[in-house]
Amino acid sequence: MWNVIDCRLMGWTCIALSAEINSFFLHSRKLCQLHKITSLSATYRLVILFNFASFVIFRFGSSVVIVWGMITPYDYNQVSVSYWLGLLACEWVMNGINPILFIRLIRSDLLTDHSKKKAANGVSNGHSTSNNSNVKSH
């Protein structure tokens, strides 16, 4: 917010906000799940592809650029030491969180056998495969 109020370092702010582009695809993936679009459909697979690509480009890429900008000596007078330390702390946290999120994304979208998950939940081709336990047998 300081960058916007002071109208300085707007390029760095845009780079930091570019990580939010990935949020669009994360939410699109969730919408596909809520609308019960099968994980084998072309739409769902395309959303997953864009999700992974945007994660690598906009989350990992923006973190790399920001850290590179922080350690490259060019003009340290642009920000105060307290601002730089706050940014360093935020980047340290984000560089810890992003790999965890990426691993969770890989587990849920690439390593999960969606057909087995559906069979375990009693769903096959959109129809329930569970037996009616209320019916008495003679």
pTM of the model as a whole: 0.69
52 in Cβ contact with 105 (< 8 Å): yes
Phi, psi of 33 (to 5 degrees): -65, -40
Task: Give the per-residue pLDDT at 89.
Answer: 93
Q: What is the pLDDT of residues 49-102, one digit of tens each?
A: 999 999 999 999 999 988 888 888 766 667 778 888 888 898 999 999 999 999
Between 135 and 70, residue with greater pLDDT: 70
